[in-house]
Structure 1
Amino acid sequence: MIVDAHQHVWDLTRAPYPWLGPDVPEWNRTFEFDELAPHLVRNGVDATVLVESDDDDGDTELMFEVADAHPTVVAIVAYLPLDQPEQAAERLSRLRRDDRVVGVRNLVHHKADPDWIISAPVDEGLAVLEAGDVAFDFVSTLPRHLDHVPTISERHPDLRIVLDHLAKPPIGADDVEPWWSLIAAAAQNPMVSAKISGLYPDSGQWSVDGIRPFVDRALEVFGPERLMYGGDWPISVASGGYDRVFAGLQSALSGLGVEDANHVWSGTARRVYRIQPGRLEAARGALTRAT
């Protein structure tokens, strides 16, 4: 079984999506799950995790609607206002009535303050997730963000932290530091895992050779049992699309043995997100039956 741990859908009529606009024409439109489905079938992907695309309730509501219509969606990483901990606690109690809600994310990389994640109110919000036994997806795109992971881990020792996109390694840059050292420091906490997803250079063409050193470093410091595959569609459209990126990651991971590969392609996502077995069973073959 393959579980894609990182997908998006968005509808420009349902939420603001302030990061979209004319400057990113490849993404500046509505993307529906039906557009993704053929790519999943071609690549043998059985189940997916939808991840929030906007810090807005409308985006989370859209994910629930998509999941209701498509059993392939086995889990949701929703939005909660982490900087409003009382409101976050109330909303989480409602969201958790649905066993598909396995995690929470905020668009931390769009916050003006790189220290937002360790501010007092957000720290209380993370405590809500820790108490509720819900994973936290951390979009770490700056060295400063990644540098905060040990602090968050120390403050919240029972919080499962998932680093989206390997915390944005410097693909194509001349210097691999400070990411090289910071990712190792983050990985020292066994409660931290990471997604092999969204690995795009800031400039130049996407290539397997470009991402391979960073995938290898992640395997070294996390081990395959704390890494999970994520297709990052439709962001991947700008790097050749789902099929090209999937094939590239297959190549980058081709040296893994069967057991280690199973961790990355499904086991880690199932364990870290605690995806319900019944959801996974319902997802198996659902796309091919639908088509």
Structure 2
Amino acid sequence: MNVVDAHQHVWDPARARYDWLGPEMAPIDGAMGFEDVRPALEAAGVTATVLVQAADNDADTDHMLATADAHREVVAVVAWVPLDDPGRARVRLAELAHDPHVVGVRTLLHEIPDPEWVLRPEVTRGLELVAEAGLTFDLVTSSPRALALVPELTARHPELRLVIDHLGKPPVGGGSEEHTAWRKLIAVAAHHPLVHAKLSGLYSASGPLDAWTTAQVRPFVEDALELFGPDRLMYGGDWPVSVLAGGYGRAWESYGELLAPLGPDERAAVLGGTAARFYRIDATLLDAARHAAV
């Protein structure tokens, strides 16, 4: 089967501007290319990856697309478009429509001061254009609070396929009250059948990113499996951020342990089937990636 990593990044400060990327992010504060992660992907048996935007500019998207052209393992790209400028967004979506790698759109919502930016009228129109183009929307958050916006988003955009990145940043390592609050929010979000979620980036909610343990992550994965089911969950390695959280291999082994109780078909869904279906990844690109991995 295809094992699809549904959440991976590449970046290069020489090719695009990354305002959030500074010395405090060392050693990943420089260029991080696909060649750097390939050994870890091969060791894990990952055959295909989805690149997800890391900056709100066209240059980052262009860099991802160039990476996809150079590496058959990259089967999909979640791009950036200016959702708050529908005119420009329409033009950019038309340009991106010519590339079969482009499957969705994301904006760094957690870097925008206005917590309800995604509900602005002009952004609402931008998301309508995304839905009309048949693309998905990745919802990224810095805390579970943003999950409260999902019911309004699904009400405004009932046909938009939406995926919650990193399970909405649950309070890994936190207390029971924080866990209960997160569960209530994500349970409501999961009510809409087109809302999916990623098992990715599940690191310590406070302190060093690498302070997490599999035992601390387990209750959140169990909740996600209960609320979404395997057919609406997808695995994401979150490289290169995962380098700061103990490395790609550590996260991969942890998810393997957490998914071990599932049956073969359920594991296959989380490890590739859900991502392929949700993002509508081109079957030709998937086949090429699988053959490249053999």
TM-score per shorter chain, which class? over 0.9
* Aligned partner of residue 23 in structure 1, secondary structure: helix
Q: Calculate the aligned-residue CA RMSD, in Å.
A: 1.0
Partner in structure 2 of residue 195 of structure 1: 198
Amino acid at match of 1:245: A
TM-superposed deviation, 1:160: 0.2
Task: Work out whether residues 224 and 260 of structure 1, in 8 Å CA contact, stay in contact via their aligned partners in 2.
Answer: yes
2:217 is the alignment partner of 1:223: no
Where does the alignment leave 5 or more consecutive residues of structure 2 unmatched? none
Q: Deviations over 1:200-251 (max 9, x none)?
A: 1122512111111000000010001000000000000011111111001111
Q: Distance in 1 between matches of 2:145 and 2:254?
A: 29
Q: Distance in 1 between matches of 2:253 and 2:78?
A: 25
Q: Distance in 1 between matches of 2:61 and 2:161?
A: 21
- Could you state the TM-score of these two structures normalised by the residue count of structure 1? 0.97
Partner in structure 1 of residue 30 of structure 2: 29
Q: Deviations over 1:13-62 (max 9, x none)?
A: 11110101122223211101001111111111000000011001111111
Q: Distance in 1 between matches of 2:36 and 2:24?
A: 22
* Aligned partner of residue 219 in structure 2, secondary structure: helix
- From 262, 270, 273, give the equivalent of 1:267: 273
Q: How does 1:5-44 map to 2 (within 5 A)?
A: 5-44=6-45
Partner in structure 1 of residue 216 of structure 2: 210
Partner in structure 1 of residue 173 of structure 2: 172
Amino acid at match of 2:4: V
Q: Distance in 2 between matches of 1:141 and 1:97?
A: 32
Task: Work out whether residues 115 and 144 of structure 1, in 8 Å CA contact, stay in contact via their aligned partners in 2.
Answer: no
- From 275, 279, 285, give the equivalent of 2:285: 279
Q: Deviations over 1:106-132 (max 9, x none)?
A: 000100011111111111111111111
* Aligned partner of residue 179 in structure 2, secondary structure: coil
Q: Distance in 2 between matches of 1:63 and 1:52?
A: 8
Amino acid at match of 2:195: V
Task: Work out whether residues 84 and 121 of structure 1, in 8 Å CA contact, stay in contact via their aligned partners in 2.
Answer: yes
Partner in structure 1 of residue 239 of structure 2: 233
* Aligned partner of residue 75 in structure 2, secondary structure: strand
TM-superposed deviation, 1:287: 4.0
Q: Distance in 1 between matches of 2:156 and 2:120?
A: 12
Q: Distance in 1 between matches of 2:213 and 2:145?
A: 26
Amino acid at match of 1:162: V
* Aligned partner of residue 71 in structure 1, secondary structure: coil
Amino acid at match of 1:203: G
TM-superposed deviation, 1:285: 3.5
* Aligned partner of residue 170 in structure 1, secondary structure: coil
Q: Distance in 2 between matches of 1:145 and 1:121?
A: 19
TM-superposed deviation, 1:90: 1.1
TM-superposed deviation, 1:142: 2.8
Where does the alignment leave 5 or more consecutive residues of structure 1 unmatched? none
Task: Work out whether residues 234 and 275 of structure 2, in 8 Å CA contact, stay in contact via their aligned partners in 1.
Answer: yes
- Could you state the TM-score of these two structures normalised by the residue count of structure 2? 0.96
* Aligned partner of residue 141 in structure 1, secondary structure: coil
Partner in structure 1 of residue 119 of structure 2: 118
2:160 is the alignment partner of 1:159: yes
TM-superposed deviation, 1:273: 0.2
Q: Distance in 1 between matches of 2:276 and 2:237?
A: 16
Q: Distance in 1 between matches of 2:283 and 2:185?
A: 34
TM-superposed deviation, 1:104: 0.4
Q: Does the C-alpha gap of structure 1 residues 231 and 170 become closer, same or farther in structure 2, counting only changes over 3 Å?
A: same
- For these two proteins, the number of residue pairs brought into alignment is 288
